Chain A
Amino acid sequence: MTKEELIALATKVKEGKATAEETNLFFKEFKEKIDDLSQYLSSLKDKKI
Chain B
Amino acid sequence: MNLETPGAGQTPEEMGVKKIETGLNEVGKQLEQVDPSKMTPEELKVLGAQIEVIFATIAAYAGMKMFEFGFGLAGGDSSHVTGDIAVRLGKVLESALGIIGGTAVVGVGVASFCDGIRKLVKNLSKIQAQKPPTSKPTE
Q: Is B3 an interface residue (CB 8 A)?
A: yes
CA distance A46 to B71 in the complex (A): 31
Q: Are B12 and A30 in contact, with the CB atoms below 8 A?
A: no
CA distance A48 to B119 in the complex (A): 12
Interface 1/0s, chain A 1-45, versus B by CB < 8 A?
001001110110110000011011011001101111110111010
Q: Are B23 and A34 in contact, with the CB atoms below 8 A?
A: yes
Q: Is B85 an interface residue (CB 8 A)?
A: no
Count of B residues near A, CB < 8 Å?
37
Quick one: which of B16-39 are within 8 Å of A by CB?
16-17, 19-20, 23-24, 26-27, 30-36, 38-39
- Interface on chain A toward B: helix, strand, loop, or mixed SS? helix
Contacts of A23 in B (CB 8 A): 3, 12-13, 16
Q: Are A11 and B60 in contact, with the CB atoms below 8 A?
A: yes
A23-B16, A27-B19, A44-B43 known; A34 and B35 CB under 8 Å? no
Q: Are A27 and B16 in contact, with the CB atoms below 8 A?
A: yes
Question: In the complex, how many angstroms separate the beta carbon of B56 from the nearest chain A beta carbon?
Answer: 5
Q: Are A24 and B53 in contact, with the CB atoms below 8 A?
A: no
- Of A11, A30, A33, A38, most B-chain CB atoms within 10 Å: A30
CA distance A31 to B57 in the complex (A): 11
Contacts of A21 in B (CB 8 A): 3
Q: Are A14 and B34 in contact, with the CB atoms below 8 A?
A: no
A14-B63, A38-B27 known; A33 and B12 CB under 8 Å? no
Complex interface: stretch among B44-52, B93-101, B130-138 = B44-52
Q: Which residues on A are within 8 Å of B, measured CB to CB? A: 3, 6-8, 10-11, 13-14, 20-21, 23-24, 26-27, 30-31, 33-38, 40-42, 44, 46-49
